[in-house]
Amino acid sequence: MGLGGEEFALLIYGPEPMKTVEALLVQLPDRVSAIVPGLDLPVTASAGVASVAADMNVSAALKAADVRLYAAKAAGRNQLVGSGAAENRPRVA
């Protein structure tokens, strides 16, 4: 599995990765508009979040996040999809 185009990986250490990612995504539109003058289109982002188990290698962890990212993209703009049903929710921008 490779990353490319508009995709990137972010490794987050901590007890609540979904909350961390959500906070970052909420800040994204304001930060981008502050550094890109004349931006006429809204900035949106969706994310797939996967927790890494002790027995997972990097490739398996990226694949798990990628599957969730594609689920988020399929659900529409500004989506955040995690490993559990309770973690799959639209973001509020």
pLDDT at 84: 57
Dist CA 22 CA 4 (whole Å): 22
pLDDT at 44: 85
What is the pTM assigned to this prediction?
0.75
Q: Are 45 and 11 in contact (CB under 8 A)?
A: no
pLDDT in tens, 3-53: 656 777 888 878 888 899 999 999 988 899 889 988 888 888 899 998 888
pLDDT at 93: 43
Report the 3 state secondary structure along the chain: CCCCCCCCCCCCCCCCHHHHHHHHHHHHHHHHHHHCCCCCCCCCCCEECCCCCCCCCHHHHHHHHHHHHHHHHHHCCCEEECCCHHHCEECCC
pLDDT at 42: 80
Q: Where are the chain's structural domains?
A: 17-33+43-90
